[in-house]
């Protein structure tokens, strides 16, 4: 009999308990919580707002945003570059975006050019050449893992047309305002979102892209209407390669000398390597501990704000890394070329 697959929160707690190369530091956990509390008190970070900066994300709270977010998060992976100053970038309206936001800019650019990139009827038959043209960087280079993005777009289009009448909106409706049910529907129906692994004989899951898709819908709709998930706290943070940088920067996570040396040498990990799973699992568990620590803080005028759950803490940490990118370059991050993050 195969072992029971743990959900991301259970997986993170288990991984943290057996981790050899990543240690969670309580002092660092408290330091992160204090910084979040300070940022909220100074209105530098508002939990009612998904992002601190202005990014090319959908602003309309309607069905079109659901389809937009589905395409974005289906392709939300592997934007890092071997050279720190050569990241995937896209220019939109005179502004240069990098990483995931470059992907968002490319989607917006395509829609403004009349290309229906958020329609499953279009991308189910999209060609590799079209994908390359739509998502090409401003420097003329192809987006990383072009073949995988092409395959995933076609695969998702086929599944949507066969199972959900061509719209991810119908999948969201089936969730009946449950974040957990929507997560289960995504993982069950869309193979490219099955972000899982095995460590010490136990099946663990991370579900970075699936969880961020749920949380993005919740955030765009500010927890209302289509984003009204009564159990949004069932979602953890989104284990990638950037948020761990912020956690290490604050001392919430500490790497062993061996792992630190590997990271500094630009070692290329494989998806499923123990070191990779330890970093991701301990990141999730760290955010769970930060969430608990934040309960000791009294926030003013929080009634109209979204709750400080794991997703919101992730948004803060991810934004922090972008705001202070130069300062955080001294913190090495793990490099993996895969479709899961």
Tens of pLDDT along 152-186?
Answer: 999 999 999 999 999 999 999 999 999 999 999 99
Question: Closest Cα to residue 50, out of 306, 275, 335?
Answer: 306
Sign of the dihedral through C-alpha 106, 107, 111, 117: positive
How high is the pLDDT of residue 84? Answer: 66
> Residue 303's pLDDT is what?
42
pLDDT-derived band at 220 (thresholds 50, 70, 90) equals: confident
| Closest listed residue to residue 167, CA positions, set 69, 240, 255 | 69
Burial class of residue 270, CB neighbours in 10 A (0-12, 13-18, 19+): exposed
pLDDT, mean of residues 112-127: 98
Q: How far apart are alpha carbons 252 and 288 in whole angstroms?
A: 12
pLDDT at 302: 47
User: Closest Cα partner for 92 from 70, 77, 107?
Assistant: 107
Nearest Cα to Cα of residue 260 among 280, 279, 286, 281: 279
3-class DSSP state of 1: coil
Reference 158, options 195, 189, 181; nearest CA is 189
Q: Left if phi > 0, otherwise alpha if psi is -120 to 50, otherwise beta: which for 139?
A: alpha
Residue 51 has pLDDT above 70, yes or no: no
- In 3-state terms, what secondary structure has residue 75? coil
Nearest to 285 by CA among 5, 4, 23: 23
* 165 in active site: no
SS3 269: strand
- Among residues 194, 222, 207, 268, which one has the least CA distance to residue 46? 222
**pLDDT for the residue 78:** 95
Find the catalytic residue in 73, 195, 240, 314.
240
Q: Assess contact for 169 and 67: CB atoms under 8 A.
A: yes
What confidence score (pLDDT) does residue 50 get? 52
* Ordered alpha helix ranges (H), 83-164: 99-112, 120-123, 128-135, 146-163
Specify the higher pLDDT residue, 3 or 290.
Answer: 290
Mean residue pLDDT across the chain:
91
Number of other CB atoms surrounding residue 198 within 10 Å: 14
pLDDT of residue 60: 75
CA dihedral 262, 334, 239, 237 (to 10 degrees): 90
Instruction: Indicate left, alpha or beta for 184 from its phi (over 0: left) and psi (-120 to 50: alpha).
Output: alpha
- Write the pLDDT tens digit of every residue in 248-300: 999 999 999 999 999 999 999 999 999 999 999 999 999 999 999 998 887 65
């Amino acid at each position: 009999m195969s072992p029971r697959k743990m959900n991301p929160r259970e997986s993170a707690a288990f991984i943290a308990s057996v981790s050899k190369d990543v240690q969670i530091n309580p002092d660092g956990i408290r330091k992160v919580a204090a910084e979040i509390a300070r940022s909220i008190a100074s209105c530098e970070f508002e939990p009612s707002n998904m992002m601190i900066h202005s990014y090319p994300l959908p602003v309309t709270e309607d069905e079109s945003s659901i389809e937009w977010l589905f395409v974005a998060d289906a392709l939300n992976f592997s934007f890092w570059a071997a050279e720190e100053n050569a990241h995937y970038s896209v220019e939109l309206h005179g502004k240069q975006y990098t990483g995931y936001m470059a992907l968002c800019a490319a989607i917006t650019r395509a829609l403004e050019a009349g290309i229906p990139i958020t329609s499953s009827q279009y991308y189910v038959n999209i060609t590799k050449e079209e994908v390359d043209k739509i998502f090409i960087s401003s420097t003329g280079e192809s987006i990383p893992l072009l073949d995988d993005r092409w395959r995933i777009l076609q695969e998702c289009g086929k599944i949507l047309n066969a199972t959900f009448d061509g719209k991810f909106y119908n999948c969201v409706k089936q969730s009946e305002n449950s974040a957990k049910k929507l997560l289960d529907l995504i993982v069950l129906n869309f193979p490219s979102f099955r972000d899982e692994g095995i460590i010490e004989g136990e099946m663990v899951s991370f579900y970075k892209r699936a969880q961020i898709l749920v949380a993005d819908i919740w955030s765009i709709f500010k927890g209302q209407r289509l984003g009204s998930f009564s159990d949004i706290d069932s979602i953890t943070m989104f284990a990638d390669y950037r948020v761990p940088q912020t956690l290490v920067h604050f001392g919430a996570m500490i790497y062993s000398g061996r792992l630190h040396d590997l990271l500094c040498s630009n070692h290329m990990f494989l998806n499923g390597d123990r070191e990779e799973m330890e970093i991701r699992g301990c990141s999730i568990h760290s955010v769970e501990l930060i969430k608990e620590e934040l309960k000791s803080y009294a926030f003013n005028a929080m009634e109209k704000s979204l709750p400080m759950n794991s997703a919101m803490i992730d948004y803060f940490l991810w934004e922090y890394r972008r705001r202070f990118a130069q300062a955080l370059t001294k913190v090495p991050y793990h490099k993996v070329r895969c479709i899961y993050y």
